[in-house]
């Protein structure tokens, strides 16, 4: 059943009056390689979990790399005792890129709440792209992240193995996020893409 019909009252409470809900899909971040830039503060916090001597070496390597997107390569080199790191990215090979963008980008703003949300829903209105979680008792949607619909540059269904309902959204800041709306079904993915189509450039193909 279409979530717009199933949760009509709850969606009306989420968006308020004067805004039309165009599509809704239960979703999660798609499987794949995450290329979101981490802030220096976040990277230092994570490295802080390493044991003493190793932590100091990793922090020194981290601070020696001015480019955040390559800083982790220095850290991993320290951890494995190698001067350089050559990796085959299995997640990218199987699932493509799940998220990419700089700190504070559109993709990063949506990806953050997806990490700890088990009942996430992508809601597209005539004004906004909303990420909301759903409370069960009582049923209600809770807004977690929101972007103006004009922030979307392009949206297209780009299915992968066991991710036929995969939707890739490119944003005007050139960040990208892939959402998985169904393992086998494509109906919700098509609804999201269709709802965004009036606000984006036509997709090249599916």
Give the chain's radius of gyration (CA, Å).
Answer: 19
Domain boundaries defined on the chain: 3-32+96-197, 39-80
What is the per-residue pLDDT across 161-188, written as a single tens digit (0 to 9) for each?
889 999 999 999 999 999 999 999 999 9
The confidence band for 85, taking pLDDT boundaries of 50, 70 and 90, is very low
Task: Report how far apart, in Å, the C-alpha atoms of 177 and of each of 6, 13, 65, 84 are.
Answer: 27, 27, 26, 29
Residues written for the chain = 206
Q: What per-residue string of b and e applies to 24-47 under the rule 16 or more CB within 10 Å gives b?
A: bbebebbbbbbbbbbeeeebbeeb
What is the per-residue pLDDT across 106-144, written as a single tens digit (0 to 9) for each?
999 999 889 877 789 999 999 999 999 999 889 999 999
Note the pLDDT of residue 6: 94
- 152 with 196: CB under 8 angstroms? yes
Assess whether pLDDT exceeds 60 at residue 69.
no
CATH number of 3-32+96-197: 2.30.29.90
pTM (two decimals): 0.74
Question: Would you give the distance in Å from CA 43 to the centre of its chain?
Answer: 19
Note the pLDDT of residue 121: 96
Point out the least confidently predicted range of 15-19, 60-64, 142-146, 161-165: 60-64
Percent of the chain with pLDDT over 70: 78
């Amino acid at each position: 059943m279409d979530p717009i019909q199933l949760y009509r009252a709850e969606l009306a409470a989420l968006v308020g009056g004067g805004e039309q809900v165009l599509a809704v899909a239960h979703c999660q971040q798609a499987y794949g390689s995450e290329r979101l830039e981490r802030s220096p503060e976040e990277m230092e916090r994570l490295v802080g979990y390493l044991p003493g001597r190793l932590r100091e070496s990793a922090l020194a390597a981290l601070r020696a790399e001015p480019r955040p997107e390559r800083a982790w390569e220095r850290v991993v080199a320290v951890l494995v005792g190698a001067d350089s790191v050559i990796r085959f990215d299995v997640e990218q090979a199987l699932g493509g890129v799940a998220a990419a963008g700089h700190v504070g980008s559109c993709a990063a703003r949506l990806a953050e709440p997806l990490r700890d949300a088990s009942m996430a829903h992508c809601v597209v209105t005539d004004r906004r792209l909303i990420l909301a979680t759903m409370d069960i008792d009582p049923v209600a949607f809770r807004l977690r992240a929101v972007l103006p619909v004009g922030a979307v540059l392009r949206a297209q269904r780009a299915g992968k193995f066991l991710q036929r309902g995969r939707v890739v959204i490119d944003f005007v800041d050139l960040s990208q996020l892939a959402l998985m709306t169904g393992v086998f079904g494509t109906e919700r993915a098509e609804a999201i893409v269709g709802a965004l189509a009036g606000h984006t450039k036509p997709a090249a193909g599916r």
